[in-house]
């Protein structure tokens, strides 16, 4: 009897084990959260053969997050997984729509997967321009009216888009054709390192999460070290930014990306107390009253010379920074077709921007440093 009980017990356990093997879900429901330490607009959860990316801020004041499923070809996805778009990974052919996406592809070594871009002249990078000159990247027209016929001909696996608001009709047309459109919200981030951390977003499409983490960690280390160096400065100069357009002065808000750089460079942005992370629109008289004695003036629109500024408006010459030749611009550093390098690379390399500003405000701290973006006006 004892032997029979043991035998039946073993058969029962074996039967249960076999049943468990048959009923085991096709993929675990508990994924591993990828560490995102600065960016607020996205999360990545890794489930092994598939990943879920949630983009919570595809554009300002977005009412709902967008969920994207990135799955390997043979991945078996649980039935309860809900998503807005699905992409097969690793991606072999991609279209991106912002120059800020280009440095991430190059850093990950996958720029050769780029098959199309709207308005190729905006791209400054020599590496990607070589691919353009070789005819490997197609011109897609303008971002708001992409040539869908050309796009369909290059057959991308995915289009990485961006939008200032919902309801982009061009992207809706592309999605109806069967090509997934994924919204990238890197530009909505206010923290400098938050923008740069979106390289992890691109890493997920290529199975290069570890490389993306390594690259970002190096950028983070350089930025943190530069910020700490700036704390040794003996003086904290005052700073003005922006320029006029049709009698309205546009300049960064106090919680903006640009304002954060000035603070981290151990300088005083004169509009640091303003709220919001966008831009301010002020009358010239208001700016003159507050910032006429500013020690430095950075990013004065598209101007690259004092003569051009004075020709545009005599008002500019009333500022101390103009009179003492302490105005610095990034508009003069361009690619071979005129694209401004700052717009392309600066969001991805905030450490370069910070070092540029430290060199301007505290030149004694970085004596041998060469500017990456900013230059004194001619």
Average pLDDT per 10 consecutive residues for the chain, totaling 378 residues? 36 38 44 96 96 94 92 94 97 97 98 97 96 97 89 97 84 94 94 97 98 98 98 97 95 95 98 91 97 98 96 96 98 95 97 98 97 97
Confidence at residue 342, expressed as pLDDT on a 0 to 100 scale: 97
Residues 56/42, Cβ–Cβ less than 8 Å: yes
Whether 305 is in a domain gets the answer yes
2 inside domain: no
Note the pLDDT of residue 61: 84
C-alpha–C-alpha distance, residues 29 and 270, integer Å: 50
Q: Which two tokens stand for residue 291?
A: 């910032």
- Show which of 190, 220, 250 is a domain's final residue: 220
Range of the domain at 51: 32-220
Residue 272's alpha-carbon distances to 114, 241, 315, in angstroms, are: 39, 11, 23
pTM for this entry: 0.90
Residue 212 forms part of a structural domain: yes
CB-side exposure of 166: number of CA atoms within 13 Å?
8
Domain identity same for 59 and 186:
yes
Which are the contacts of 86, defined by CB distance < 8 A and separation ≥ 6?
A: 68, 69, 70, 71, 180
- Asked whether residue 23 is assigned to any structural domain, the reply reads no
Number of domains in the chain: 2
Last residue of a domain, one of 176, 197, 220: 220
Same domain as 327, residue 295: yes
Determine the pLDDT at residue 263.
98
Give the pLDDT of residue 169.
85
CATH number of the CATH domain containing 94: 3.40.50.1980
Residue 112 lies in a domain: yes
């Amino acid at each position: 009897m004892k032997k029979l009980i043991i035998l039946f017990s073993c058969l029962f356990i074996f039967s249960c084990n076999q049943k468990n093997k048959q009923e085991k879900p096709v993929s675990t429901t508990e994924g591993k959260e990828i560490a995102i330490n600065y960016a607020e607009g996205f999360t990545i959860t890794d489930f092994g053969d598939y990943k879920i990316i949630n983009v919570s801020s595809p554009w300002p004041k977005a009412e709902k997050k967008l969920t994207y499923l990135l799955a390997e070809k043979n991945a078996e996805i649980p039935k309860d997984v809900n998503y807005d778009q699905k992409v097969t990974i690793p991606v072999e052919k991609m279209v991106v729509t912002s120059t800020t996406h280009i440095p991430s592809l190059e850093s990950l070594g996958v720029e050769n997967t780029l098959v199309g871009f709207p308005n190729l002249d905006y791209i400054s990078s020599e590496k990607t321009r070589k691919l353009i000159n070789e005819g490997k990247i197609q011109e897609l027209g303008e971002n708001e009216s992409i040539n869908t016929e050309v796009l369909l001909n290059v057959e991308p696996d995915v289009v990485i888009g961006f939008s200032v608001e919902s309801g982009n009709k061009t992207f809706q047309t592309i999605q109806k054709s069967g090509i997934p459109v994924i919204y990238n919200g890197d530009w909505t981030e206010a923290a400098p390192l938050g923008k740069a951390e979106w390289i992890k977003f691109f890493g997920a499409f290529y199975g290069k999460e570890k490389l993306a983490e390594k690259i970002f960690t190096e950028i983070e280390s350089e930025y943190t070290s530069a910020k700490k160096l700036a704390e040794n400065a003996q003086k904290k100069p005052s700073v003005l930014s922006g320029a006029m357009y049709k009698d309205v002065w546009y300049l960064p808000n106090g919680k903006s990306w640009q304002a954060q750089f000035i603070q981290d460079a151990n300088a005083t942005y004169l509009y640091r107390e303003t709220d919001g992370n966008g831009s301010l629109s002020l009358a010239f008289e208001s700016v003159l009253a507050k910032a006429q004695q500013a020690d430095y003036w950075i990013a004065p629109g598209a101007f690259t010379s004092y003569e051009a500024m004075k020709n545009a408006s005599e008002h500019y010459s009333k500022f101390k920074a103009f009179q003492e030749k302490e105005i610095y611009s990034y508009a003069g550093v361009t690619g071979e077709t005129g694209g401004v390098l700052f717009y392309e690379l600066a969001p991805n390399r905030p450490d370069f921007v910070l070092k540029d500003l430290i060199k301007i405000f505290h030149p004694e701290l970085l004596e041998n440093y060469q500017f990456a973006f900013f230059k004194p006006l001619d």
